Amino acid sequence: MNLDRKRVPVKASNRRQGPYPYYGASGVVDFVDSYLFEGLHLLVAEDGENLRSRRTPVSFLADGQFWVNNHAHVLQANNANDTKFLCYALEAADISGYITGSAQPKLSQASLSAIEVPAPPLRTQQAIAATLGALDDKIESNRRVMATGESLIRTIVESTLGASEGEAGTLSDYCTLVKSPVKVEAIDPAANYIGLEHMPKGSIFLSEWDRAKGLGSNKTAFKRGDLLFGKLRPYFKKVGIAPIDGVCSTDILAVRPNDPRDIALIAVVAASDALIDSLSAGSTGTRMPRASWKDLAAWRVPVLSATERIELSARVDPLVESLTQLTFESHRLAALRDALLPELLSGRLRVPVGTP
């Protein structure tokens, strides 16, 4: 059942902030003071480059009370189908033949309706959705734990810096820019790759990455424990601690701690609203503003005394390590879900179906 007729786009300048998620083609883009939809719905991207690249999901669920603009189709399953199952089925489908437009890819309502997906009996759909949903639920639980842990890390670091009696300094007293360019022909296809699309907004912990196979341009090599800072449109707040070695987009600054124990401090400072706002205001480029290492390095930060650094490290290092391990668990769970998805949809793998 298509509910696109109920969508209402609202310009950013006309939105009033509130508690209700405002969805676009790739998920929540804002929060507003009212809602259009209530209950579980399936949202499918209507336009955007991601329809072709599939870097992020093109179909996703929205529940509760929320608003949707005109960049996402709004669907609900009929009585013979399960909305969660349809979300997984669409995400697994090859939609390339249904997309029109080159400069701005688009999936029209008519094209969306024409996409063929498996349609097993309702109870089978529900069993498949429950199996895959259990993995997604654990990933979401990890995300919430990580958000709480990250909030605690930020509080500890900020209180330590605020109470420090150390000398005035800058972020460059704690870290240096990584200058390790890698020519595209020298990139190992099996290497880990992190692009801006893999970095969540506003979180210093990264749980998504891909393989470098098929990359078409030069990259920057980084190591586990480096800080990755998205310099393109810095106001998106894409700043995170690398949990693995790999290569990253050249739109990302790789920053290496002078002392690995300082990574939490560096990450919290680099991701702070004050620094991001300052870099966004001073970034170059009108349509695609970019921050520079020069400005990031010059950000003023107290230089902690040796005692202060040891005490801070003792408090936050175990938290960073624990949350990093949750990152790996979520990554493994996502890989398992993605491997199970085509097998379950095709019927090659079956799950037990309960009796009515």
288 has a pLDDT exceeding 90: no
Rounded Cα distance between 12 and 17, Å, is: 10
300 has a pLDDT exceeding 90: yes
* pLDDT at res. 285: 65
136 has a pLDDT exceeding 80: yes
pTM of the predicted model, to two decimals? Answer: 0.83
Query: Burial letters for 148-183: b for 16+ Cβ neighbours within 10 Å, e otherwise?
Result: ebbeebbebbeebbeebebeeeebbbbbebbeeebe
The yes/no answer on whether domain 144-305 falls in CATH 3.90.220.20 is yes
* pLDDT at res. 277: 92
- φ, ψ for residue 195, nearest 5 deg: -110, 175
* pLDDT at res. 61: 96
173 has a pLDDT exceeding 90: yes
290 has a pLDDT exceeding 80: yes
For the chain, the average pLDDT equals 94
Rounded Cα distance between 209 and 239, Å, is: 14
156 neighbors 240 (Cβ within 8 angstroms): no
Residue 171's pLDDT band, with cuts at 50, 70 and 90, is very high
Assign a CATH topology to domain 4-118: Adenine-n6-DNA-methyltransferase TaqI; Chain A, domain 2 (3.90.220)
Cβ-proximal residues to 231 (8 Å cutoff; 6+ apart), any chain? 251, 252, 253, 290, 291, 292, 293
* pLDDT at res. 286: 60
Q: Tell me what the mean pLDDT of segment 274-291 comes to.
A: 82
43 has a pLDDT exceeding 80: yes
Domain with CATH 3.90.220.20 in the chain: 4-118, 144-305
Q: Tell me what the mean pLDDT of segment 260-280 comes to.
A: 95
Residue 225's pLDDT band, with cuts at 50, 70 and 90, is very high
280 neighbors 289 (Cβ within 8 angstroms): yes
Residue 53's pLDDT band, with cuts at 50, 70 and 90, is confident
The arrangement of strands across the sheet holding 20-24 comes to 27-32, 20-24, 65-68, 37-38
Residue 55's pLDDT band, with cuts at 50, 70 and 90, is confident
* pLDDT at res. 71: 95
Chain segment 266-275, per-residue pLDDT in tens: 999 999 999 9
